[in-house]
Amino acid sequence: MAAEVSVPSTPAWARWIRAKLGRRTVPYLLLVPGGLWLLFFYVAPVAQLAAVSLQEGTFETGYLLTWRWANYTDALRTFSSQFIRSFVYAGVATAAALVIAYPLAYAIAFRGGRFKNLLLVMVLMPFLTPFLLRTLAWKVILADSGVVVGALQSIGVLAENGRLLATGWAVVAGITYNFLAFMTLPIYVSLEKIDPSLIEAAQDLYASPAVAFGKVTLPLSLPGIVAGTLLTFIPAAGDFVNAQLLGNPQQLMIGNVIDSRFLRVLDYPTAAALSFTLMIVILSLIIPYVRAAGTEELVA
Amino acid sequence: MTASVTSRQGVRPRGRLLSFIRRHALSFYAAVALGYLFLPVAVVILFSFNDNRGRFNFTWNGLTLKHWANAFEIPNLFDSLVTSLQIAFLSALVATILGTLIALALVRYSFRGRSTTNLLLFLPMATPEVVLGSSLLAFYLTLGVARGFWTVVVAHIMFNISYVVVTVKARLAGFDRDLEEAAMDLYANEWATFRKVTLPMIMPGVFAAFLLGFALSFDDFIITNFNSGQTVTFPLFIWGAARVGVPPQVNVFGTAIFAVTVSIMFINLALQRRQT
Amino acid sequence: MTSSTEREQRLTGPEAGESPAVDLTSVTKSFGKVIAVDDVTLSIEENQFFALLGPSGCGKTTTLRMIGGFEEPDSGDIRLYGEPVTGLKPYQRPVNTVFQSYALFPHLTIFENVAFGLRRRGIDKKQVRNQVNEMLDLVKLPGLTDRKPTQLSGGQRQRVALARALINHPRVLLLDEPLGALDLKLRKEMQIELKRIQHEVGITFVHVTHDQEEAMTMADTIAVMNEGQIVRLGSPAEIYEDPRSSFVAGFLGASNLLPVASVDGRNVVLEDGTRLHAPDGAELSPSMSLGVRPEKIRLHAPDASDLPANVIRGHVVDTSYVGISTQFLVTTPFGASITAVMQNVDPVSFRRGDEVLLGWNPDHSFVIDGS
């Protein structure tokens, strides 16, 4: 007698759900919890921020939505130097990070061999110490009595009692360091994807190693460079920790201003206007990228 | 017309040295770059042994183990650590669940509103932390919500979701659908297939996402600063102490955290090596 | 000591006519403990379609890569048209390669891909345009200049890779299993195409493949490689009809090998006493095997007259009808299994279980020494 196979059937509640809602709603059901969370705790607050930026008043008197566009112009006028400084610092730091990270990523991708994964882990490891501790460590490294300052003084780059701390240089150095992993990883990923036979083909077609790099490797690693640049510049522009710990009060970044406006001065409309301006500027940098790469690329 | 025995003909000694340098310059640079990356870490570890004078810990004064011995001396420090761990665990857990669901939807199904979803997930990653933090603060103020432990958790969940989605999605994309079809061919319904086949196979990616969320939350400063009220997390403690003098015990715990996470990473690598 | 640029120039000069196109002398290459190429000596004449044939891991690809400059031999000498090339990088050698994966640059258009080599050598724009179009016509792909490689089919990409290499007028073209990724029909078309192009362009092609049918279709001369060494060198017909080793006999087509027990004049005697005539002119020894290919054997009814010189009795165990031909598996009284293939001119008249006579002309067989 042939054994009977009992096939487990779909439980009744599942059948009911499927009947009522149909196949097509499954994706939406999956999206709802997370999506709602983001809508409620990201979109709403940001929209709210836009509203606050157009209010006026003080903490004591309360705030009123008066569509005060002047908040923006006032804020920009007062803090234009901080804005510019932020973008300059972030730009220099991003460029420096690119210069440092690209050869490192290249070395791991093309010379790493069996140790590629290990080397990648080693690139990430320093970022497992707290952000603040790392930045404070730079305070030690760049201290006036430290080795670095001493060396720079002796070769004449720094004046006799020149400092690194409390200057823009220290801040930029801190920012470059702190976001280096964000630059290295995307570049590594796009370099790793390059088929090595493409480089051999270029050499077969009379390209010297330098030319092969410029004509084949570099263009093909461009997506990684763009991603790394964005991932570095965005947090760098809004950072204020490095400026606070390594810089001086005369050279604040826009992040410092927003922080103090919000938490100390309690001038919410101005702070909101500044925040929103920062966000708009950054978005305007990203939009051409999105247009070129398409939205699928955004979430990898 | 002799057959030559060696492959390199007539490269003079100086040329040899140059080509050696050229070939190894890149590896040499990589070593220097890695040294640069580890320099602050070395400083942090080193200064946990510093016999510092006064409240500041910036100049080297000699070796001592007393900070390690008295690691728990400072009450607020240890409390802030515990708070950070709790927040990190909770926010990573919730974000991982929410994010995994979204990742499943994105990879498995085609639906309208896909681009919007992608955009919505991307925006938090593209927004500077000052904006994220300050907008949530304004939001809480409007709602009249007191800032504290739970507002921080909520904020951390919010920014972790995107990172979870990216991580899980990468893992899901490489997943072979045939395995699920095989399971269904062998009488497993959708839920059983998910439980017995899909979930175990994406578990490494989900776990990696959890760890990422945990790390991001634990280390977060800016957003937490805006939304924490009176609650003090480890980064906030450091920030507050930075002005009056960061006790070396902070370095001790920083080193400990580093050591623990590095060990976890290596164990994970070793396990992965065993699997493949 | 001539500098590498001087050597490079001499290789592209006109006076290198007498030497063989490619000359390998005692070339050895190891990767760690594995000896990939074991003391190989080989001469390839110019204007030939030359094939390196063998199973995976036999060293054929490594040999090709050493000619191209992507690997350097551990010892031994490689010359192109008489000029030594050891130490020269790929971009300094007058050879070009068609890669197995085609290696088309995904970020460049077809035009720029094909023009790549010309641009590196500084050819002026107008010339480049003319030559690219001419070359695309040669490979029968006109009008695709503005597309990107990802927009082309596998067969089209293959032709672009070919055009990109040929346009540089190399003295030797190296092809690394270029047809492997194509489907059967396309592969057969391309085999004929490649042969036509080689004739038209008139340069030496060195083609690596593991497909013996492909090698025999296209090549003028084949070198069969196994475990890092060349085991047989000759034209397709020479190699096929006279394999000289059981490896080659088995690698190219199928063959029936009958171990010989003793020799008696011009006859060989099998283990069970059957006497067979040996092929004319073969050197006989008691340790050899007698080989005969399936298509050389005809089946005859037991009572047939007009039989060839060598006949064995057997009965049919299996038949396979393959359209063009029918394959018969026949066992002999002494236990051997013999495969015979006959073209289906008349309807098949032998079935499973039939007693048959297997007959062949002694000159259609070959002998293999030792193993």
For chain A, which domains are there?
A: 14-52 (no CATH), 78-253 (1.10.3720.10)
Asked if B275 is an interface residue toward chain C (Cβ–Cβ < 8 A), one would say no
- Inter-chain CB pairs, A–C, below 8 Å: 59
Residue C3 has pLDDT above 60, yes or no: no
B5 pLDDT tier (thresholds 50, 70, 90): very low
Residue with tokens 């060396």: A151
Within chain B, where are the H helices? 13-47, 66-69, 75-108, 114-126, 129-143, 149-173, 177-185, 190-193, 199-219, 222-227, 234-244, 248-275
Asked if A207 is an interface residue toward chain C (Cβ–Cβ < 8 A), one would say yes
For residue B208, count other CB atoms closer than 10 A to its CB: 17
Closest residue to C103, CB basis, from A197, A208, A215:
A197
In whole angstroms, what is the distance from residue A175 CA to residue A166 CA? 14
Residue with tokens 């400083």: B43
- The type of residue at A80 is S
Query: Which tens digit of pLDDT belongs to each residue from B92-145?
Result: 999 999 998 888 888 877 777 787 888 888 888 888 888 888 888 888 888 888
Closest residue to B246, CB basis, from A110, A136, A180:
A136
Using CB atoms, which chains have 3+ pairs under 8 A with A? B, C
Give the tokens for residue A69: 């566009």
Distance from CA of A199 to the nearest CA of C (A): 8
Is B259 inside a domain boundary?
no
Same domain? For B95 and B142 the reply is yes
Q: Are A269 and A52 in contact (CB under 8 A)?
A: yes
Mean pLDDT, residues A254-264: 83
Residue A160 has pLDDT above 80, yes or no: no
Q: What is the pLDDT of residue A11?
A: 66
Continuous segment of H or E residues that includes residue A277:
helix A268-293
Same domain? For B40 and B137 the reply is no
Same domain? For B136 and B187 the reply is yes
A106 pLDDT tier (thresholds 50, 70, 90): very high
Closest residue to B3, CB basis, from C1, C77, C87:
C77
- The residue range of the domain holding B55 is 14-67
Q: Which residue of C has its CA nearest to A203?
A: C91
Q: What is the pLDDT of residue C79?
A: 93
Distance from CA of A24 to the nearest CA of B (A): 8
Give the tokens for residue C9: 């120039």
Q: What is the pLDDT of residue C331?
A: 92
Q: What is the pLDDT of residue B124?
A: 86
Residue C206 has pLDDT above 80, yes or no: yes
- The type of residue at A238 is G
C319 pLDDT tier (thresholds 50, 70, 90): very high
- CATH number attached to the domain at C254-368: 2.40.50.140
Q: What is the pLDDT of residue B78?
A: 85
Residue with tokens 């089209």: C156
Same domain? For B56 and B143 the reply is no
For residue C218, count other CB atoms closer than 10 A to its CB: 25
Continuous segment of H or E residues that includes residue C95:
strand C95-98
Residue A161 has pLDDT above 80, yes or no: no
**In 3-state terms, what secondary structure has residue B239?**
helix
* Ordered DSSP codes for B65-114: SHHHHTTT--HHHHHHHHHHHHHHHHHHHHHHHHHHHHHHHHHH---TTH
Give the tokens for residue A157: 């780059």
Length of chain C counted residue by residue: 371
Is B7 inside a domain boundary?
no
Query: Which tens digit of pLDDT belongs to each residue from A43-59?
Result: 888 888 887 777 776 66
Percent of chain C at pLDDT above 90?
53
Q: What is the mean pLDDT of chain C?
A: 88
Asked if A200 is an interface residue toward chain C (Cβ–Cβ < 8 A), one would say yes
In whole angstroms, what is the distance from residue B187 CA to residue B202 CA? 21
Percent of chain B at pLDDT above 70?
93
Residue from B134, B186, B222 to probe the interface with A (highest A Cβ count within 10 Å) = B134
A293 pLDDT tier (thresholds 50, 70, 90): low
Q: What is the mean pLDDT of chain A?
A: 81
CA nearest neighbour of C203 among C215, C186, C220, C191: C220
In whole angstroms, what is the distance from residue B233 CA to residue B239 CA? 10
A6 pLDDT tier (thresholds 50, 70, 90): low
Same domain? For B234 and B176 the reply is yes
In whole angstroms, what is the distance from residue A294 CA to residue B174 CA? 21
Same domain? For B189 and B162 the reply is yes
Q: Are A145 and B61 in contact (CB under 8 A)?
A: no
Residue C16 has pLDDT above 50, yes or no: no
Is B241 inside a domain boundary?
yes
Among B6-20, C164-178, C254-268, which is the least confidently predicted range? B6-20
Distance from CA of A219 to the nearest CA of C (A): 7
B14 pLDDT tier (thresholds 50, 70, 90): low
- Inter-chain CB pairs, B–C, below 8 Å: 25
Is B200 inside a domain boundary?
yes
Q: Which residue has the higher pLDDT, C139 or B142?
A: C139
Residue with tokens 């500027």: A281
Q: What is the pLDDT of residue C208?
A: 96
Q: B-chain residues within 8 Å CB-CB of A138?
A: 40
Mean pLDDT, residues C337-351: 87
C235 pLDDT tier (thresholds 50, 70, 90): very high
Same domain? For B20 and B43 the reply is yes
Mean pLDDT, residues C61-85: 93
Among A6-15, C60-69, C136-145, which is the least confidently predicted range? A6-15
Please report how many Cα atoms fall inside a 13 Å half-sphere around the Cα of residue B85, on the Cβ side. 8
> A116-125, B164-173, B194-203, C164-173 — which one is most confidently predicted on average?
C164-173
- The total number of structural domains in chain B stands at 2
Question: pTM for the whole thing?
Answer: 0.79
Mean pLDDT, residues C201-229: 93
Q: B-chain residues within 8 Å CB-CB of C25?
A: 3
Q: What is the pLDDT of residue A63?
A: 66
Distance from CA of B24 to the nearest CA of C (A): 18
Give the ipTM of the model, two decimals please.
Answer: 0.79
Q: Quick one: fold of C4-94+170-246?
A: Rossmann fold (3.40.50)
Same domain? For B62 and B158 the reply is no
A16 pLDDT tier (thresholds 50, 70, 90): low
**In 3-state terms, what secondary structure has residue C96?**
strand
Among A20-34, A110-124, B138-152, which is the least confidently predicted range? A20-34
CATH of the domain at B239: 1.10.3720.10
Residue C287 has pLDDT above 80, yes or no: yes
Q: Would you call C73 and B7 a contact, using CB atoms and an 8 Å cutoff?
A: yes
Residue with tokens 């080297």: B60
Residue C6 has pLDDT above 50, yes or no: no
Q: Residues of CATH 2.40.50.140 domain(s) within chain C? A: 254-368
Same domain? For B179 and B224 the reply is yes
Q: Which residues of C125-149 are buried (b: 16+ CB within 10 A; e: fewer)?
A: eeebeebbeebbebbebeebbeebb
Q: What is the pLDDT of residue A118?
A: 84
Is B8 inside a domain boundary?
no
Same domain? For B89 and B212 the reply is yes
Q: What is the pLDDT of residue B92?
A: 94
Q: Residues of CATH 3.40.50.300 domain(s) within chain C? A: 4-94+170-246
In whole angstroms, what is the distance from residue B167 CA to residue B164 CA? 5
Same domain? For B26 and B84 the reply is no
A294 pLDDT tier (thresholds 50, 70, 90): low
B10 pLDDT tier (thresholds 50, 70, 90): very low
